[in-house]
Structure 1
Amino acid sequence: MDYIKARTYIDESHRFGGEMGLEAITCLLEKLGNPQETLQFIHIAGTNGKGSVGAYLAAVLQEAGYRIGRFISPTLYEYRERIQINGVYIEEEAFGRLMDPVVKAIGELEEEHKPLPSPFEIETAISFLYYKEKNCDFVLLECGMGGKTDATNVIRNTKLAVITSISMDHMEYLGNTLGEIAGQKAGIIKPGSRVVTCRQEKEAMDVIERESKKLGCPLYVGDKTEAELVTADLDHMVFRYQKETYTIHLAGSHQLENAVLALAGIRALQDTGYQISGEQIRSGMEKARWNGRFTILKKDPYLVVDGAHNPDAARKLQESLRMYFPNREFVFLMGVFRDKQYETIAERMAPMAREIIAMETPDNSRALPAKELGEVLCRYKTPKQVYVADSLEEALQLGMKLAGKEDVIVAFGSLSFIGDLTKLSENLE
């Protein structure tokens, strides 16, 4: 099957439905010979920070000479970005070729009246086939949502179960308390794995500690309070942690927490017997890159994009803006999905802005219409301070018109529009 036909098949597989749980992905992988059983996984769950922590871990392990597969969701710039090895996206030829056995397996499942996979489950299966074919040493596997019932949790060979910052998101699926949500995230912990997390709220931390102890898994905690920040600007951050000095180039106040969490993961791997030197750790941390999370697209005026799409991410965005841009005025571009806590995000973020532009994330049925978002924003700003844009292009042009050279334009609310907004920004004068 060629790449275009493969993509079309996945798009049309929405008709299969797809329920949270492991039955469909288990049936599919059995038909494919269970390729995941030959792989070693670093499984990453959490509300915020999964991509950044994965970027640090991947960069360090690559620096140490390991072949690293990464499965990423969602993607920003290109569909094939979700399946990559050492930073190189899966080839179109390979994607189409590996779709053939998957389509055959789904046909057999259909004949047997067994559960059929969702698009995400199909992509997960293709990734396992690809990583097995390419003999990856590790696969950094990001949960799509939650953990316990996420399709990625079909794996068993988990070396590290990494749980990033947990906060309230996807409550309709994961639970209405931090403890319930943490229980879903902690579902990725497997017997024989090492568990790595940051310092969580007590309710979440208790769940992670309890689950780790129950399964006999050593728990490593990357605690940012043990790190000393030396210097931080938009280009780099220098910090000391456990008698070592590290430089990172991912911006944002929250990156100290993400970096320390990744370092705890590396330490856990070293304790398992993997050879990773101090110099390889320092070099990998400095080489790590992860776009779309407090990323600077333009200067004079500054144009910042950030995928903040839940209240905790919005809080971290606020901290970063105050940290890097004290005494500046802001023009916000906000677009969100209707199933997010957009009222809470608006209440938190709107007072920071001089003007704010409501926009709709393009080509997505989950998008909240810009007009509805604008009405919400008017609760926290005067109507003269709120604008409604019919497109990303209109929102960006309006933002550039409203902002002076000393102001800062910030686009946030979803990862879904960052790729398109990045391309539009490249054409700005």
Structure 2
Amino acid sequence: MNYPESREYLKELLKVGSIYGLETMGELLKRLGDPQRNLRFVHIAGTNGKGSVLSYLTSVLSEAGYCTGSYTSPALFSYRERYRVNNVDIKKEEFAACLTEVAEAAEHMRAEKGHGPTCFEVETAVALLYFSKKHCDLVVLETGMGGSLDATNIVDTTVVAVLTSIGMDHMEYLGSTLGEIAAQKAGILKPGAIAVSAVQSPEAAAVIQAAAADKGCSLRFVQEKALKLRSSSLKEQHFDYGPWNDITIHLAGTYQPNNAALALEAILALRRQGFQISDEQVRSGMAHTEWKGRFTPISEKPMVILDGAHNEAAAIELKKSIELYFKGRRIFYMMGVFRDKEYEKIISCTAPLASYIVTVQTPKNPRALPAAELKQAVERVNPSVEAADSIAMGVQQLFRRMEPEDVLIVFGSLSFLEEAEKCVKAAMDGRA
């Protein structure tokens, strides 16, 4: 297969049902020679912050000279960004070659057993095969959803397990309480690994502690008292944490120092596992970390921010960031959400801050909530709202109302940020 054919193959797999569990994933990898056995992993699960923590870690590890793979989902701006080595996307021909190999094994399984792997299982197998071929020293692996039965949890050579902030999300799959969801996330803990966790609710923390004890993992939580913010702006933030003074990061958002502190705890754990990472490499790696779509400015006049907030916990942090950075300025929103998210809670948290809101339907996803339905939900909190027929039209509607000093926040789902950025830039070019 070439690259377009490989992408088309994956689209067809989206129509295929799944069998719950790790058996299919294990069988697929066995047919590929178990490439994951050649690798060591930092495995990350949680509700919010996984991508940011992964980015800090891959940047620091690359700075320290390790060949570092990273696997994330979903893609934001390019499909191939999900598979990276030392922060460089997989090449089209590399992806096509790996997928061809995985697809051959998958189709043999389907012919023999009457069923085969899902799209995400195939994608995860492609990642593990690719990283094995690249001889990665370490792979930073982000779960797709949950932990225990996520396809990524087939790996058993985890050196550090990282649990980011756990909140209410994907309840139809993971459970209806924080404890149940935390139990699923803590399924990534493995004997011999060191576990590190963000600050959690008491309910989630108790479950994580029990899981660590059961697996024989040492466990350390981020120490809130050790995190001291020195300064915060849209361009950079400075903070102290543990043995490090005046760490600089260039990711905005009130939540980023906490994500960075969790990454630093993971780095301390990696040192305990024998990885050589100097303080200077830590500082440089943290300062050079980039991660788009997390309170990311893409324009200054007017200020336009892209943010992936898509659940209540993320919306609370988004609200804090707006209040910190844009006090006294008029705020405009473009919102698009999935139907299966608790979008009413996102609205109740964020909508009161806005002077005007435009709702859109996130494109090319059957889970997308129609713009008109989202408008009706927003109206109950803030009547200054209209629905747009497309993202491009929504940007035009907003820009007609906005002054140069106003602020536009685009949020509600990661899935439409790429198109929103393109539409904003096209509209800005049209204004010039």
Which residues of 2 match residues 366-405 of structure 1 at below 5 A? 366-382=367-383, 385-405=384-404
- In the alignment, the residues of structure 2 paired with residue 212 and residue 320 of structure 1 have an alpha-carbon distance, to the nearest angstrom, of 33
Amino acid at match of 1:398: Q
Counterpart residue number, 2:406:
407
> How much does 1:426 deviate?
2.0
Counterpart residue number, 1:249:
250
Segment of structure 1 superposing worse, 340-349 or 12-21:
12-21
Given the alignment of the two structures, is residue 160 of structure 1 paired with residue 160 of structure 2, yes or no? yes
Deviations 1:173-192 (A, max 9, x none): 00010000000000000001
**Contact in 1 for aligned 2:59/2:87 (Cα 8 Å):** no
- In the alignment, the residues of structure 2 paired with residue 82 and residue 47 of structure 1 have an alpha-carbon distance, to the nearest angstrom, of 18
> How much does 1:397 deviate?
1.2
* Aligned-pair identity (%): 46
**Contact in 2 for aligned 1:337/1:361 (Cα 8 Å):** yes
- In the alignment, the residues of structure 2 paired with residue 289 and residue 99 of structure 1 have an alpha-carbon distance, to the nearest angstrom, of 28
**Contact in 2 for aligned 1:194/1:218 (Cα 8 Å):** yes
> How much does 1:301 deviate?
1.5
> How much does 1:348 deviate?
1.4
Counterpart residue number, 1:46:
46
**Contact in 2 for aligned 1:234/1:324 (Cα 8 Å):** yes
Segment of structure 1 superposing worse, 369-378 or 404-413:
404-413
**Contact in 1 for aligned 2:103/2:122 (Cα 8 Å):** no
Given the alignment of the two structures, is residue 76 of structure 1 paired with residue 109 of structure 2, yes or no? no
Given the alignment of the two structures, is residue 338 of structure 1 paired with residue 339 of structure 2, yes or no? yes
Amino acid at match of 2:380: R
Counterpart residue number, 2:140:
140
> How much does 1:242 deviate?
2.1
Counterpart residue number, 1:180:
180
- Report SS of the residue matched to 1:274: coil
- Report SS of the residue matched to 1:381: coil
Counterpart residue number, 1:232:
232
- Report SS of the residue matched to 2:117: coil
Counterpart residue number, 2:6:
6
Segment of structure 1 superposing worse, 291-300 or 93-102:
93-102
Q: TM-score, normalised by structure 1?
A: 0.98
Which residues of 2 match residues 27-106 of structure 1 at below 5 A? 27-106=27-106
**Contact in 2 for aligned 1:222/1:263 (Cα 8 Å):** no
> How much does 1:111 deviate?
2.2
- Report SS of the residue matched to 1:417: helix
- In the alignment, the residues of structure 2 paired with residue 54 and residue 103 of structure 1 have an alpha-carbon distance, to the nearest angstrom, of 28
Counterpart residue number, 2:281:
280
Counterpart residue number, 1:295:
296
- In the alignment, the residues of structure 2 paired with residue 24 and residue 421 of structure 1 have an alpha-carbon distance, to the nearest angstrom, of 37
**Contact in 1 for aligned 2:45/2:163 (Cα 8 Å):** yes
Counterpart residue number, 1:222:
222
- In the alignment, the residues of structure 2 paired with residue 352 and residue 117 of structure 1 have an alpha-carbon distance, to the nearest angstrom, of 45
> How much does 1:315 deviate?
0.3
Q: TM-score, normalised by structure 2?
A: 0.97
Deviations 1:325-358 (A, max 9, x none): 1111211110001111111111211111111111
- Report SS of the residue matched to 1:304: strand
- Report SS of the residue matched to 2:44: strand
> How much does 1:19 deviate?
3.8
> How much does 1:419 deviate?
0.9
- In the alignment, the residues of structure 1 paired with residue 150 and residue 110 of structure 2 have an alpha-carbon distance, to the nearest angstrom, of 22
> How much does 1:114 deviate?
5.3
Deviations 1:349-408 (A, max 9, x none): 1111111111110111111000000111111122xx111101110111111112222221
Given the alignment of the two structures, is residue 355 of structure 1 paired with residue 351 of structure 2, yes or no? no
Amino acid at match of 1:98: C
Query: Number of residues paired by the alignment?
Result: 427
Counterpart residue number, 1:189:
189
- Report SS of the residue matched to 2:414: coil
> How much does 1:101 deviate?
2.1
- In the alignment, the residues of structure 1 paired with residue 240 and residue 102 of structure 2 have an alpha-carbon distance, to the nearest angstrom, of 47
- Report SS of the residue matched to 1:112: helix
**Contact in 1 for aligned 2:68/2:136 (Cα 8 Å):** yes
Counterpart residue number, 2:418:
419
- In the alignment, the residues of structure 2 paired with residue 216 and residue 171 of structure 1 have an alpha-carbon distance, to the nearest angstrom, of 28
- Report SS of the residue matched to 2:396: helix
> How much does 1:28 deviate?
0.9
**Contact in 2 for aligned 1:223/1:257 (Cα 8 Å):** no
Where do 5+ consecutive residues of structure 2 fail to align?
A: none
Amino acid at match of 2:170: H
- In the alignment, the residues of structure 1 paired with residue 20 and residue 68 of structure 2 have an alpha-carbon distance, to the nearest angstrom, of 27
- In the alignment, the residues of structure 1 paired with residue 15 and residue 412 of structure 2 have an alpha-carbon distance, to the nearest angstrom, of 28
**Contact in 2 for aligned 1:74/1:82 (Cα 8 Å):** yes
Amino acid at match of 2:309: A
- In the alignment, the residues of structure 2 paired with residue 263 and residue 114 of structure 1 have an alpha-carbon distance, to the nearest angstrom, of 46
- In the alignment, the residues of structure 2 paired with residue 223 and residue 48 of structure 1 have an alpha-carbon distance, to the nearest angstrom, of 18
CA separation of 1:155 and 1:115: change in aligned 2, threshold 3 A: farther
Counterpart residue number, 2:212:
212
Where do 5+ consecutive residues of structure 1 fail to align?
A: none
- In the alignment, the residues of structure 1 paired with residue 22 and residue 214 of structure 2 have an alpha-carbon distance, to the nearest angstrom, of 22
- In the alignment, the residues of structure 2 paired with residue 99 and residue 410 of structure 1 have an alpha-carbon distance, to the nearest angstrom, of 37
Amino acid at match of 2:280: E
> How much does 1:215 deviate?
1.3
- Report SS of the residue matched to 2:139: strand
- Report SS of the residue matched to 1:361: coil
**Contact in 1 for aligned 2:107/2:116 (Cα 8 Å):** no
CA separation of 1:15 and 1:381: change in aligned 2, threshold 3 A: closer
> How much does 1:199 deviate?
1.2
> How much does 1:425 deviate?
2.1
- In the alignment, the residues of structure 2 paired with residue 114 and residue 23 of structure 1 have an alpha-carbon distance, to the nearest angstrom, of 14
Amino acid at match of 1:300: K
